[in-house]
């Protein structure tokens, strides 16, 4: 199964992708994780992306598409995948459709995790204390939420028009949400 996970910052995309990976036995591809690894390793890509990410803005479409094309050239994606953090705007949604069309691997389901803003803020503040992720400070969180509303929310309509969208309430225990997603995929 080929799945895109959609949802605001803190909605649980990464958490649920990790659980789904084990359940469905397909790779989890997170553009945020790939970028954070590049920043940590100090690669040229990471040096370019570091300040943009810390501010909560989007890294350029061209850079992220290049990264994704490289990841999708690996054979493990042919058995399905969970994509988390991409697409983030309509240009990326169209680029993904073209890339997966060339590979003959179209998206089966786009799962939107629906979470109240108060819960998002609470979760991200909790992670800021526990892990100190560079973009979990209040200013960057506010900007990430703004970017989500302005640029990423239209991607939900894109998948709805394609008949691939399922909406899942994203509050409750991690296991409860996982079971809702599994039920929605059937």
Residue 88: name the closest of 133, 144, 19 by CA.
144
Q: Do 135 and 80 touch, CB atoms closer than 8 A? A: no
10 binds ligand AP5 (CB under 6 A): yes
71 binds ligand AP5 (CB under 6 A): no
66: Cβ contacts below 8 Å, ≥ 6 apart: none
Q: Which stretch binds ligand AP5 (CB under 6 A): 39-47, 56-64, 93-101, 158-166?
A: 56-64
Q: Of how many residues is the chain composed? A: 186
80 prior amide bond cis, ω within 30: no
70: Cβ contacts below 8 Å, ≥ 6 apart: none
* Phi, psi for 146 (deg, rounded to 5): -65, -45
Tell me whether residue 123 is one of the annotated catalytic residues: no
Which residue number, 31 or 112, has a Cβ lying nearer to ligand AP5?
31
Tell me whether residue 167 is one of the annotated catalytic residues: no
Q: Which of 47, 102, 127, 146 binds ligand AP5 (CB under 6 A)?
A: 127
- Of 13, 36, 123, 180, the catalytic one is 13
Q: Which of 2, 32, 50, 178 binds ligand AP5 (CB under 6 A)?
A: 32
CB of 143 to ligand AP5, least distance (A): 8
Q: Which of 64, 77, 168, 181 binds ligand AP5 (CB under 6 A)?
A: 64
111: Cβ contacts below 8 Å, ≥ 6 apart: 3, 4, 5, 6, 166, 168, 181, 184, 185
Q: Which residues contact ligand AP5 (rule: CB under 6 A)?
A: 7, 9-15, 31-32, 35, 52-53, 56-59, 64, 85-86, 88, 92, 123, 126-127, 135, 144, 173-174, 177
């Amino acid at each position: 199964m080929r799945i895109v996970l959609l949802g605001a910052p803190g909605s649980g995309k990464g958490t649920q992708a990790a659980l789904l990976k084990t359940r469905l036995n397909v790779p989890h591809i997170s553009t945020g994780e790939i970028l954070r690894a590049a920043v940590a390793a100090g690669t040229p890509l990471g040096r370019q992306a570091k300040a943009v990410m810390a501010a909560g803005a989007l890294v350029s479409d061209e850079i992220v598409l290049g990264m994704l094309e490289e990841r999708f050239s690996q054979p493990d994606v042919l058995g399905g995948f969970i994509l988390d953090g991409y697409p983030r705007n309509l240009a990326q949604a169209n680029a993904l459709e073209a890339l997966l069309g060339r590979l003959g691997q179209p998206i089966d389901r786009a799962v939107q995790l629906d979470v109240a803003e108060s819960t998002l803020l609470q979760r991200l503040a909790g992670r800021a204390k526990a892990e100190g992720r560079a973009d979990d400070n209040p200013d960057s969180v506010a900007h990430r939420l703004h970017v989500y509303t302005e640029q990423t929310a239209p991607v939900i309509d894109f998948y709805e028009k394609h008949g691939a969208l399922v909406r899942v309430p994203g509050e409750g225990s991690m296991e409860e949400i996982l079971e809702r997603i599994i039920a929605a995929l059937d």
